[in-house]
Amino acid sequence: MKSGAVIILLVMGLLAFLFLWLFKLGFENVWRGYSSSSWPVTEGLVVSADPSSSGSNINNRPTTAIHRLTLGIRYHVGGRAYSTEQISWGQTLGTSDPSDAALLGLRYRTGQTVQVRYDPDNPAEAVLIPGLHASAFLLPASALALLALVAPGVAFGWSSLSADAVESGAESSGLMMWSIRLVLLVFLIFGSGLLVAGFRDVSYAIKSHAWPTTSGEWVQRQREDFDGPAPPGHVPAPEARIGVEYVYRYAVNGTQRFNNMRSFGQGPAGGSRSDEEIAAQFPRGRSLQVYYDPTDPDQSTLVPGISPRVWILPGIGMVLLLIGTLVFARWNKSSRKHSGAASVRQPGTRGGTAKTSPPRSGKRRGKTGR
């Protein structure tokens, strides 16, 4: 039993190290995202924009592909050249929606001049899109989920390792109580984060009714014809990449812009069912009415207002927050009741009733002579 407990504690120790590492990286992403809005701006040049897709076949069925666009941006600070691939802090390694990578390719083309935010204390740290985004919280959230797994494991392993049964029971009870509180705390944090992120989309959806409109059109995917296979190292043009047909273009104040937001809370494009839904709702060849945010024209939608899907994220957050709050309140109440009942018991008692020894007689028995 003790050997098993040692193995559990070792595994939990490794997971705890992973938790600290993830939390450190996540905290750095959150802090950089928060502070990057006030960083100075310099001009940069997009020197490369390489799309990639990865996937595999399981039982002769293709799995969901992950699409990504890797940007290479060169900029100068104080006469010294730097480069970065950072689009935003907390950016993911890819997405299942091919239009997300295609959208970046249309917005940031090779040879295009862009605005780059850089850390004045460390100019090698730079980002293309500053600010705190929801993706920056992915690593801290993963770390907290890992903590919810580690805490009960440590409590169980420690109680199994202890030799004294009475002392082990008391210690494991205390550790288990704290581990449960940590798990509930994770529920509360997760729920709050999803609630805040979800209601941000709800806020955009509500405001979108009053946004100005402009006309737009779907981007037509171009085909590149070669006499044989594509040459090695060939990078397709932005208009010829996978998913570009789910991106629309529109102009605001004479500047051409692109987006793939059809409605707030939308699902990913690229599946046969989503293709049919998009084609039925927005037929190809017809002009689109685009609603755009006047303070940020890159933020736009084709369908203003609240759709049922926009409630999914805040709904999950509300459920987690409600579960965590109710369970925490009930657990706290029961633990207080248990500690209050235990405090009235005396040491050496059983069932709250003290054991008493029979009274000793006042007479002392004398010694008998021989």
Residue 166: pLDDT band with limits 50, 70, 90: very low
**Confidence check: pLDDT of 170 > 80:** no
| pLDDT for the residue 242 | 81
**Confidence check: pLDDT of 365 > 60:** no
C-beta neighbour count of 224 within 10 angstroms: 10
3-state secondary structure (DSSP) of residue 221: coil
Q: Which residue has the higher pLDDT, 328 or 250?
A: 250
User: Rounded distance, CA 271 to CA 276, Å?
Assistant: 9
Instruction: Say what percent of the chain tops pLDDT 90.
Output: 25
pTM of the model: 0.68
Residue 366: pLDDT band with limits 50, 70, 90: very low
- Extract the tokens encoding 326: 């109710």
Residue 176: pLDDT band with limits 50, 70, 90: low
Residues 6+ apart with CB under 8 A from 122: none
* Mean local confidence (pLDDT), 99-120: 92
- Extract the tokens encoding 151: 């805490």
Q: Which of 19-23, 85-89, 205-209 has the lowest mean pLDDT?
A: 19-23
| pLDDT for the residue 341 | 54
User: Rounded distance, CA 368 to CA 370, Å?
Assistant: 7
* Mean local confidence (pLDDT), 103-112: 91
User: Rounded distance, CA 143 to CA 20, Å?
Assistant: 7
* Mean local confidence (pLDDT), 261-289: 75
Taking a C-beta distance cutoff of 8 angstroms, is the pair 315, 222 a contact?
no
**Confidence check: pLDDT of 111 > 60:** yes
| pLDDT for the residue 370 | 42
Q: Which of 16-25, 124-133, 174-183, 207-216 has the lowest mean pLDDT?
A: 174-183
| pLDDT for the residue 124 | 94
Taking a C-beta distance cutoff of 8 angstroms, is the pair 94, 68 a contact?
yes
| pLDDT for the residue 243 | 83
* Mean local confidence (pLDDT), 155-159: 64
Residues 6+ apart with CB under 8 A from 177: 335
**Confidence check: pLDDT of 273 > 60:** no
How high does pLDDT run on average in the chain? 77
**Confidence check: pLDDT of 213 > 90:** yes
| pLDDT for the residue 369 | 46
Q: Which of 40-44, 305-309, 360-364 has the lowest mean pLDDT?
A: 360-364
